[in-house]
Structure 1
């Protein structure tokens, strides 16, 4: 994709980014843990910058892939989910369902319109593999993996499966490597304890995004 074509994608990302904090605030179940409107200055400016980078990265990685709009839509919902999870350790079902509908419906439409129906089974298989492996992880003794995380992973498996096996495998591994690195860093800095609950959603989303870039 040319640099000129990336400009509207970046602008779209910035515009979407301004909507992320207020939307996330509506889904926060613990308002005391979510910045008040008067204290959201950093979110107001950080969110558009992050969203712009996410959108441009996806556009560069996917190029003329017919599913690019679907990836952008899922990323938009994902950013809201990440902010909510950071604020109150929660991945609201309505947002996860919205991402699932966007991914499944959008990829189905892209497969049919672009004449590549064979890619849709790969997306469905990606969701099944991603969700199934994380169900097993959640059931392990002492696991801190919540079923909100499991549902999100299954949804992210759809676009990753669309891209193929390598992207799916990277999308399954990278989030846990990122999360583990963050946890180790916080432990070393004595910012958290071993029993502190930390959100996994942002790592799941960031790892999936990196997997797309590396695909």
Structure 2
């Protein structure tokens, strides 16, 4: 039984205020304390980006951006998820939206987000498919992507945060087979290259500027899941 795009859209819309607040809280440079607006504004923000407690709108993603992305991701994952994989897709989708905005803002994927994502993925994965052969493939895919991006981080401008995010995505892609795993990697680098080229052409970035790879990594995995589902 498929969950459906409408259920996914509603789930994304319901999660958006919490994801927006978390994006504001975690989008801080390395070594700095988490951002806190006020006690009343810790659990949600309006789509305008304004804190409901103090009215501050100076920090965080653009108005409506988190909500739009959360709904679109919800629609996509709702179309692909079944009854068993719904919880896993909600977990990975919510963290994916959050991590994408944080990385785009401050060029880092905090351990405080990537590690809980990995732990929750490991717990929820058997509910999506309990067959030992599939779970073994998911484990191997997670290890393969972790090693791939960890190795690349030593020679190309890919951060260790990307390497810590990759195993969770590899485990999900492993549900659909090795072709999906390879497709996710291919799409990630394709989207990253296109994004970088567009930024250069529009002069929004220079040749030596660091670019966040988290959003292409997440979007590539999503496209691979949609293609395989």
Mapped pair 1:181 → 2:186: no
Alignment of 1:27-38 (within 5 A): 27-30=26-29, 37-38=56-57
Structure 1 moving runs of 4+ over 4 Å: 39-42
Q: Alpha-carbon deviation of 1:164? A: 1.0
Q: 1:42 to 1:24 in 2, by over 3 A?
A: closer
Number of residue pairs the alignment of both structures matches: 206
Deviation per CA, 1:83-130: give whole Å up to 9, x if none.
111111110101001110111110034434xxx333211110110111
Helix, strand or coil: the match of 1:163?
A: coil
Once the 2 structures are TM-superposed, how far is the Cα of residue 7 of structure 1 from its aligned partner? 2.5
TM-score (norm 2): 0.82
Tell me the equivalent position of 1:25: 24
Q: Distance in 2 between matches of 1:210 and 1:110?
A: 19
Asked whether the equivalents of residues 111 and 118 of structure 1 are also in contact (C-alpha less than 8 Å), the reply is no
Greater percentage in helix: 1
| CA 1:78–1:88: 2 relative to 1, 3 Å | same
Structure 1: state its 5+ residue gaps.
none
Match of 1:121 among 136, 139, 145: 136
Alignment partners' CA distance in 2, 1:203 and 1:172: 10
**2: CA distance, partners of 1:175 / 1:210:** 9
> Quick check: 200-209 or 40-49, which moved more?
40-49
Unmatched tracts of structure 2, length 5 or more: 36-48, 51-55
State the shift of 1:6 in Å: 3.5
8 Å contact kept, 1:18–1:44? no
What is the Cα-based RMSD across aligned positions, in Å? Answer: 2.3
Alpha-carbon separation, structure 1, partners of 2:5 and 2:146? 33
**Cα separation, 1, equivalents of 2:186 and 2:6:** 31
Deviation of 1:41 (Å): 8.8
For residue 131 of structure 1, what is the aligned residue in structure 2?
Answer: 146
Q: How far, CA to CA, are the matches of 2:61 and 2:178 in structure 1?
A: 38
